[in-house]
Amino acid sequence: MKQAIVLRRDLQMGKGKAAAQAAHAACEAVLSIIRSNNSEWSRWLDSWLSQGQKKVVLRVESEGELNRVYEEARAAGLPASMIEDAGLTQLPPGTKTAVAVGPAPAELVDKITGKLKLY
Amino acid sequence: MKQAIVLRRDLQMGKGKAAAQAAHAACEAVLSIIRSNNSEWSRWLDSWLSQGQKKVVLRVESEGELNRVYEEARAAGLPASMIEDAGLTQLPPGTKTAVAVGPAPAELVDKITGKLKLY
């Protein structure tokens, strides 16, 4: 099991900003599972938690690429979150910054994010 | 409501590594609330979620400072998580990397982390 967190590098976010967006995306994907009552997703979550919550942080270079990751994850039936920044600092309101895919079986996550580079 | 995420800057983690540790800490603190059956914490969580999950990422320069933040948060009755790295990459196994405090009322979080600088 793993969770992939995908950040836009083209936004040139500061380190703290990037970390906050990653945390938003990761938590939101986990919460979406808890809210979903999807029993398969719940099993994935429990399994991922018991294995130490493996996370990998990856990068894309555009909003289009970020959208592509999110849409492919949803189409594949995986839990996923899309984060838009409130725009109080650094970025215009509504800027899409981050996506999390999973927790889900690693091979399913890799089908969508496997070609992305580390952030 | 807010959640403070505290990262050790003395470890000189790469950007992706730091983002992953921040995400671990944030998720773990949220999950600790869900597992706790503490009704006050649950109210804080709901309120924080409805307000857009405000997060701030802060820094300390040593394991001792990180321990201090975690212990003060717990002593104050706040939800908090301490993250130790599995040590598969970059860091020795068991290295303490990050703490999250909250979600909780901002004034209670600030009592503990208010003097820390942005990461």
* Per-residue pLDDT at B89 exceeds 90: no
* Per-residue pLDDT at A34 exceeds 90: yes
Measured distance CA(B69)–CA(B72) in Å, rounded: 5
Q: Residue A2 in contact with residue A49, Cβ under 8 Å?
A: no
> Under an 8 A CB cutoff, do B19 and A119 touch?
yes
> Under an 8 A CB cutoff, do A52 and B16 touch?
no
Give the residue from chain B lying closest to A19, CA to CA. B19
Q: Residue A116 in contact with residue A57, Cβ under 8 Å?
A: no
Position B63 scores a pLDDT of: 96
Q: State pLDDT tens for residues B36-76.
A: 989 999 999 999 999 989 999 999 999 999 999 999 999 99
Q: What is the CATH number for A48? A: 3.40.1490.10
Position A93 scores a pLDDT of: 84
pTM for the structure as a whole? 0.95
Q: Which residue from B52, B57, B83 is spatially nearest to B70, judged by alpha carbons?
A: B83
Please report, rounded to a whole number, the percentage of residues in chain A having pLDDT higher than 70.
99
Measured distance CA(A34)–CA(A57) in Å, rounded: 22
Closest partner CB to B22 (pick from A19, A28, A58): A19
Chain B interface, Cβ < 8 Å to A: 5, 7, 15-28, 30-31, 34, 49, 52-53, 55-59, 86, 118-119
Chain A neighbors of B57, CB-CB under 8 A = 16-17, 19-20, 23
Q: Residue A95 in contact with residue A7, Cβ under 8 Å?
A: no
Domain count, chain A: 1
Please report, rounded to a whole number, the percentage of residues in chain B having pLDDT higher than 70.
98
Give the residue from chain B lying closest to A86, CA to CA. B52
Q: Phi-psi category of B14—alpha, beta or left, where left has phi over 0 and alpha has psi -120 to 50? A: beta
Q: Which domain holds residue B37?
A: 2-118
